[in-house]
Amino acid sequence: MGLEFKSRVTLAHGAGGRETSEIVRRLFLERFRFTRVSGGVGLPELDDAASIPVGGGRHIVVTTDSYTVNPIFFPGGDIGKLAATGTINDLAVMGAIPVAVLDSIVVEEGFPLEHLDRIVNSIKDTLESENVALIGGDFKVMPRGSIDKIVITMTGIGILYTNRILLDSNVKPGDKIIVTGSIGEHGATILALQSGIDVESSSLRSDCQPLTRIMRRILDIGGVHAAKDPTRGGLAMALNEFAKKSNVGIIVWEDRIPIRDEVKMYSEMLGVDPLTLACEGRALLSVSPDKACEVLEELRSMGCSDAEIIGEAVDDYKGMVILKTVSGGLRVLEEPMGEIVPRIC
For the segment 148-169, what is each residue's pLDDT rounded down to a tens digit?
999 999 999 999 998 889 999 9
Percent with pLDDT over 70 in the chain = 98
Q: What is the mean pLDDT of residues 17-24?
A: 89
Report if residue 344 sits inside a domain: no
Do 191 and 244 sit in the same domain of this protein?
yes
- The CATH number that applies at residue 219 is 3.90.650.10
Report if residue 12 sits inside a domain: yes
Report if residue 342 sits inside a domain: no
Do 88 and 119 sit in the same domain of this protein?
yes
* pLDDT at 65 (0 to 100): 97
The string of pLDDT tens digits covering residues 307-337 is 999 999 999 999 999 999 999 999 999 998 8
Question: pLDDT at residue 2 above 80?
Answer: no
* pLDDT at 255 (0 to 100): 97
Do 58 and 106 sit in the same domain of this protein?
yes
* pLDDT at 11 (0 to 100): 87
Do 138 and 211 sit in the same domain of this protein?
no
Range of the domain at 23: 1-33
Report if residue 341 sits inside a domain: no
The string of pLDDT tens digits covering residues 199-245 is 887 889 999 999 999 999 999 999 999 999 999 999 999 999 999 99
Q: Mind giving me the DSSP string for 90-109?
A: HHHTTT-EEEEEEEEEEEET
Question: pLDDT at residue 3 above 70?
Answer: no
Do 138 and 12 sit in the same domain of this protein?
no
Number of alpha helices (DSSP H) and beta strands (DSSP E) in the chain = 8, 14
* pLDDT at 5 (0 to 100): 54
Do 19 and 114 sit in the same domain of this protein?
no
- Report the chain's mean pLDDT, rounded to a whole number: 95
Do 9 and 104 sit in the same domain of this protein?
no
Name the β-bridge partners of 158.
Answer: 61, 98
* pLDDT at 329 (0 to 100): 95
CB 53 within 8 A of CB 39: yes
Do 103 and 198 sit in the same domain of this protein?
no
Higher pLDDT, 21 or 314: 314
* pLDDT at 6 (0 to 100): 59
* pLDDT at 4 (0 to 100): 53
* pLDDT at 198 (0 to 100): 86
Q: How many domains does the chain have?
A: 3
Do 141 and 208 sit in the same domain of this protein?
no
Do 197 and 250 sit in the same domain of this protein?
yes
User: Terminal CA-to-CA distance of the chain, rounded, Å?
Assistant: 30
- The CATH number that applies at residue 77 is 3.30.1330.10
Report if residue 337 sits inside a domain: no
The whole-angstrom distance between residue 119's C-alpha and the CA centroid of its chain comes to 21
> CA-CA distance, 201 to 129, in Å (whole number)?
28
CB 184 within 8 A of CB 282: no
Report if residue 340 sits inside a domain: no
